[in-house]
Amino acid sequence: MAAPRRRALGLWIRGNGQRLGSLFSPVSKPFCSAAAASTSVNAQRLAERLRAQKREQDTNKKPVSTNPVQRRVQEIVRFTRQLQRVHPNVLAKALTRGILHQDNNLVVINKPYGLPVHGGPGVQLCISDVLPILAKILHGHKAEPLHLCHRLDKETTGVMVLAWDKDMAHQVQELFRTRQVVKKYWAITVRVPMPSAGVVDIPIVEKEAQGQQQHHKMTLSPSYRMDNGKMVKVRHSRSAQVAVTRYQVLSSTLSSALVELQPITGIKHQLRVHLSFGLDCPILGDHKYSDWNRLAPQKLSVGTLKKLGLEQSKARYIPLHLHAQQLILPALGSRKEDLNLVCKLPHFFVRSLRRLGLEMPNQNQNENNEAECLGAQ
């Protein structure tokens, strides 16, 4: 049946004086042009959609500041967000570049800003997550995970001690618990502590702060209060914990200071609470403890903002300027001497010192200040 149809079709084509190809031209051309038109419309819609997305991204993108300080603030904010998005392998590799000390028992790292030590709500990546990877990078694929010996706040930078095995970690933790480890922090404060050296010995307790947003904070729980010029003993809170901090002003201007802090005890947020509520000199960038009732960006004086090159609306991006600068571990295991661990300041901390006109003390000056502080006690 198919052959006669083809012959009849061929006769019909020849009878009209047309070639075989011209039969398909009136039918096939509209089909091809319709498909091409459809493809063109789809491509045009896709291009329009991509342009709209690009315009939306450009609209949402924050303009790059011409002010170098504001650019640095934006870099810090971007860096802390990136830390939560990087792959654990990348973070572990970055931590190896900041190793301060390594032996058969311990690994001491320089903890970066914005990186939590432990996991928790909203935490995507923390130091404890990458300890197995870090151990493999340092000791090969068969290495056991490293162990935490102590903790630092998410916003605090500086010396952090890790141990190769659980027994060594427990020994170091016992040294911290029995206050045999000398810990020294550097902080930039808003205002200058008076007197310039001393000891803050005020218990600390956690309380709920009543404000627009109900939240919990650590605060002072003093044993005495002033009543009509007289010192009166108050009832001791059972939940209050003994907290003792030694401090020494290393450099100061009229509105800020570089302070060395030596916590004798290890209570949560002890240094921040003693500075802010005990000495009325909160740490620069401490948006939690600069005001008791509010959770709001730290309010800074016009002079301080001018030195930093910032507006008050940008103060929320100022990082906490608290750095674990030195740890002295007593002899442990096969080590017969004290281990003195010193960590250099992060770049943002150094730049803030320069902006505020604060001087970096040399080692000899630092030792003399310590001797004076000890002699005054």
Note if 153 is an active site residue: yes
Q: Which of 295, 312, 114 is nearest to 211 (CA)?
A: 295
Query: Is 191 exposed, middle or buried, given 0-12, 13-18 or 19+ CB atoms closer than 10 A?
Result: middle
Cα dist. 108→231, 267, 310, 318, 340 in Å? 46, 22, 35, 27, 11
The residue annotated as part of the active site, out of 153, 201, 280, 338, is 153
**Parallel/antiparallel/unpaired status of strands 256-263 and 244-252:** antiparallel
What's the rounded Cα separation, in Å, for the pair 326 and 39? 67
**Cβ atoms of residues 19 and 9 within 8 Å:** no
Residue tagged 């006669």 (tokens): 4
What's the rounded Cα separation, in Å, for the pair 199 and 195? 10
Alpha helices in the chain (DSSP H): 2-15, 20-60, 68-83, 88-96, 127-139, 166-177, 270-273, 302-308, 347-356, 363-376
What six digits make up the tokens of 279?
A: 């000495």
- Which residues are catalytically annotated? 153
